[in-house]
Structure 1
Amino acid sequence: MNFELDEEQVMLRTSARDFLEEECPKKLVRTMMEDEKGYSPELWKKTADLGWLGLTFPEEYGGVGSSFLDLVVLLEECGRALLPAPLIPTVVLGAHPILAAGTGEQKDRFLPHIAGGEMVLTLAFLEASAGLEASDVTVAATPSGDRFVINGTKLFVPFAHVADYLLCVTRTKESPNKEEGVTLFLVDARTEGIRIETLKTMTGEKLCEVVFKNVAVPEENMLGELDKGWPLMKRLLVEAQVAECAWMTGGARWAMETSIDYAKTRIAFGRPIGSFQAIQHKLADVAVAVEGATSIVYYAAWTIMEHHPEMAIAASMAKSWCSEAYKQAAFAGVQIHGGIGYTWDHDMHLYLKRAKACEVAFGDSDYHREKVAQMLNV
């Protein structure tokens, strides 16, 4: 069994790191935290030109034809750099469902534009309960002629304020089995009746409240089958969880490596602080957590790539582990850096805030441990 990345994946990782170090310095990250859009359209276009946005798309849609594991390698580097861009919302939450369930016309209409950096998509899923189950979907879509009319409110929708289309998860039929009656629609974000408000976040990430009031959507914009959208959502959530894990692993590794470098050069009492046992223990614990995160994320990505029946449990295990590993690495990083680690001038706080935000995205550690227990039938 070979756990090493192949030559092309190593090249992808190296080229991505070099590009992001040049094009995405922390100064840009900080600027985008205050920016109204929250991302740089110029940098977005450059990532498209590199083939990142269409990395997993077939070549016929302007893509590269790479695997989900290749995407995970790329997302690790993006998380390491804290890339401020709607990459996961557009590619994983928007494009991948179209690839999985879209009609030929929908694929032709959306995928080439996404790959070219000309279109931003996002997922409108969470509601007031913030739950991830089918029973939490209450935003209604009712048929009206050749259209459906959507009413309700979605919360914490990433980059909705700059999105061209929203993949909206709706309730089209009431049923005792809540997994029945869920339907997905590709909604033009400029449609009359949509109101989008950007929410304040501690990370500067752009999460939005989206209110649908009598929003008419053509039936041709339905993604998948009527009332049978939940299996697609379950697959989407698995991919989203693993993508988020890759992002977290990259950030955790940056925090670990930065702390190790600091511990080697910071002198206290006439010796590097890394020579003190307390610091060594912290760094050893973080190293174990980060290496474990890397392994479990790659395994989860492999299960998705191979359509393995264990993909759901692997994704929950990965999300549970990575949520804690990132937080642990960032907390330890702040402590090892001492006073400077608490200042705005140092970058460590950016990773600490992101670790806390990523922890709850697509389910926190407690939620996923419960999911693992359920899948183990205990």
Structure 2
Amino acid sequence: MRAVSLPDELRAVVRDYLAGRPGASWREFARDVGVAGLLVPEECGGAGCGPAEMAAVAEELGRVLSPHPFLQSAVMAVEAAVACGASDLLAALADGSSTATVVLPGDGGLRLADGLLTGVVPYALEGELVLLYVGDALVEAVPTRREPYRTMDESRPLTRLTFENVPVRRLGDGASHARVRDLGIAALAAEQVGGAERCLEMAVEHAGRRHQFGRPIGSFQAIKHKLADVLLLVESARSAAGAAAVDGVFAAIAGSYCTEAYLTAAGENIQVHGGIGVTWEHPAHRYLKRATSDAQLFGPPQAHRARLAAHVFGDPVPLVP
């Protein structure tokens, strides 16, 4: 008998929890399952897990289009805090009592002078604490204003952050931004795999139930081929996502491939469902919206392929933006 791995056990626990308590808050989720401190070192009050466990949780969150801030808080903010040794921040993040978001270089027009931060971050993932890479530093600052957007994908809220001569708390240097970005891409890729897999499941279920000309539409060759193609995309995306946390090359591969796989799976799910798939009542449109917004979160697939060009062809485009 094959032993059950920790990621598989964690995946099952998270899936059961999300199914049984779909309205649970982030703090309840963190308390009951411990996902907020998944990547936090044990000596700082966390579980001390790694990329495989992170991917398992992210995949399950992606399956249900969860709004929980796992990506920005439990992955990116934790990685940034670990890199600079901010133990107090790690403790707050580990138990879910605080959430955080990370602003990467180039995500906003910011200026840090004499310990005061000025500028605007046009689009930021939601988080109570704001960590920003500005110049050669990682700082924490309280925005002067937060302006939430009404976004197409309501399952992943975005906010405009304004800073007007705000004093900052310097956490460390900015050298960790590349690793934080790549880990974020890896977590997003796992989410995309979960969403794409759920789209495939919905399409297969519908193809088995829906009858035309006296038989299930899933028995028609055109539908079979469509579903087989999506299955190949999902499994290939899972392989890409699994390697994404290794380094920038694999993160760029996952950022490109998983994004396009999710977009295709979400679109084909709607095609298989036909008319019902484009109605407001059916969840298919919500997955297409998430896939579309995900395609811009760390840059479109073309941007990830441009990063790969530097590695493959010696192009001047850097692997780390």
One-letter code of the match for 1:77?
E
Q: Which residue of 2 aligns with 1:73?
A: 56
Equivalent residue runs for 1:293-332 within 5 Å:
293-301=237-245, 303=246, 311-332=247-268
One-letter code of the match for 2:15?
R
| Cα pair 1:290 1:325 within 8 Å, conserved | yes
Q: Which residue of 2 aligns with 1:158?
A: 125
Q: Which residue of 2 aligns with 1:338?
A: 274
| Cα pair 1:56 1:71 within 8 Å, conserved | yes
Aligned residues: 312
- Looking at structure 2, the residues matched to 65 and 43 of structure 1 have their Cα atoms a distance apart, in angstroms, of 19
TM-score w.r.t. the length of structure 1 is 0.79
| Cα pair 1:48 1:54 within 8 Å, conserved | no
- Looking at structure 1, the residues matched to 108 and 160 of structure 2 have their Cα atoms a distance apart, in angstroms, of 15
Residue 95 of structure 1: CA displacement?
1.5
Q: Which residue of 2 aligns with 1:233?
A: 177
Establish whether residue 214 from structure 1 lines up as the match of residue 165 from structure 2: yes
Establish whether residue 96 from structure 1 lines up as the match of residue 79 from structure 2: yes
RMSD in angstroms over aligned alpha carbons? 1.8
Residue 352 of structure 1: CA displacement?
0.6
SS of aligned partner of 1:184: strand
Q: Call closer, same or farther: CA 1:157–1:339 in 2, change over 3 Å.
A: same
One-letter code of the match for 2:164?
K
- Looking at structure 2, the residues matched to 135 and 262 of structure 1 have their Cα atoms a distance apart, in angstroms, of 43
- Looking at structure 2, the residues matched to 372 and 61 of structure 1 have their Cα atoms a distance apart, in angstroms, of 35
Equivalent residue runs for 1:1-378 within 5 Å:
7-24=5-22, 42-102=25-85, 106-107=86-87, 109-125=88-104, 138-143=109-114, 148-160=115-127, 163=128, 165-171=129-135, 182-189=136-143, 194-204=144-154, 205-217=156-168, 221-225=169-173, 229=174, 231-301=175-245, 303=246, 311-376=247-312, 377-378=314-315
Q: Call closer, same or farther: CA 1:369–1:94 in 2, change over 3 Å.
A: same
Residue 223 of structure 1: CA displacement?
2.4
TM-score w.r.t. the length of structure 2 is 0.92
- Looking at structure 2, the residues matched to 64 and 347 of structure 1 have their Cα atoms a distance apart, in angstroms, of 34
- Looking at structure 2, the residues matched to 7 and 286 of structure 1 have their Cα atoms a distance apart, in angstroms, of 27
| Cα pair 1:137 1:170 within 8 Å, conserved | no
Q: Call closer, same or farther: CA 1:5–1:321 in 2, change over 3 Å.
A: farther
| Cα pair 2:55 2:187 within 8 Å, conserved | yes
Residue 364 of structure 1: CA displacement?
1.1
Q: Call closer, same or farther: CA 1:18–1:201 in 2, change over 3 Å.
A: same
One-letter code of the match for 2:82?
L
Residue 62 of structure 1: CA displacement?
1.5
Residue 44 of structure 1: CA displacement?
3.2
- Looking at structure 2, the residues matched to 210 and 79 of structure 1 have their Cα atoms a distance apart, in angstroms, of 26
| Cα pair 1:124 1:157 within 8 Å, conserved | yes
Q: Call closer, same or farther: CA 1:260–1:115 in 2, change over 3 Å.
A: same
- Looking at structure 1, the residues matched to 107 and 98 of structure 2 have their Cα atoms a distance apart, in angstroms, of 29
- Looking at structure 2, the residues matched to 345 and 201 of structure 1 have their Cα atoms a distance apart, in angstroms, of 19
- Looking at structure 1, the residues matched to 26 and 242 of structure 2 have their Cα atoms a distance apart, in angstroms, of 27
| Cα pair 1:248 1:355 within 8 Å, conserved | yes
Provide, for residues 233-280 of structure 1, a one-character-per-residue CA deviation record: whole Å limited to 9, x for no partner.
111111111111011110000000111111112111101001111111
- Looking at structure 1, the residues matched to 150 and 117 of structure 2 have their Cα atoms a distance apart, in angstroms, of 26
| Cα pair 1:23 1:43 within 8 Å, conserved | no
Q: Call closer, same or farther: CA 1:5–1:210 in 2, change over 3 Å.
A: farther
Structure 1 unaligned runs (5+)? 29-39, 126-133, 172-181, 304-310
Structure 2 unaligned runs (5+)? 316-321
Residue 16 of structure 1: CA displacement?
1.0
- Looking at structure 2, the residues matched to 135 and 199 of structure 1 have their Cα atoms a distance apart, in angstroms, of 20
Q: Which residue of 2 aligns with 1:130?
A: none
- Looking at structure 2, the residues matched to 142 and 100 of structure 1 have their Cα atoms a distance apart, in angstroms, of 23
